[in-house]
Amino acid sequence: MTENKTKIIAEPGKPELTIEREFDAPRELVFRAYTEPDLIVKWWGPKDITTTIEKMELKPGGEWRFISTNPDGSKDVFFGEYKEIDPPRRMSQTFNYEPIGPGHESVDSAVFEELPDDRTRVISKSAFKSVADRDGMMQSGMEQGVNEGYERLDDLLEELRG
């Protein structure tokens, strides 16, 4: 198994964020892990949280709502609307973090690239309404959540590959 590193790119002055990560699994399997509720709950977010999917209508215009329960019992709610689902190549959706309130929504997309040796590169882009919104997301602990979530996804993909 290759050591996969997460690359987070936030260029100064631009209200966007790019996350690149490679996985030791075929594109179809990685796409499934992003789109099947029973798989998402096994890897989404930091290692010490539990994710519950309250709603997931995987189609353009469909709504999604995930609830993360922290070790202290507090909850973080994330929600949005799917814009595009193009298996296994691409998906996009709006992304909201409930405590922040309206007006701070980002539009997130993920492209799943096939690589040699049954590997996949996922390039995720988030477009924010302002640099301040992007920076707020960066300061919220997002980097730790992304890194730990992807480590959990590595483990899940290895398990699914048998």
Tell me if 40 is assigned to some domain: yes
Q: Is the dihedral of CA 23, 27, 31, 32 positive or negative?
A: negative
Tell me if 51 is assigned to some domain: yes
Residue 1, SS3 per DSSP: coil
% of the chain surpassing 70 pLDDT: 98
Cβ–Cβ < 8 Å for 2, 23: no
* Residue found under tokens 């999604």: 64
Q: What is the pLDDT of residue 1?
A: 54
Cβ–Cβ < 8 Å for 95, 77: no
Number of domains in the chain: 1
Residue 32, SS3 per DSSP: helix
Q: What is the pLDDT of residue 3?
A: 74
Neighbours of 35 (CB within 10 A): 17
Q: What is the pLDDT of residue 2?
A: 59
* Structural domain boundaries, residue 30: 7-161
Q: What is the pLDDT of residue 139?
A: 86
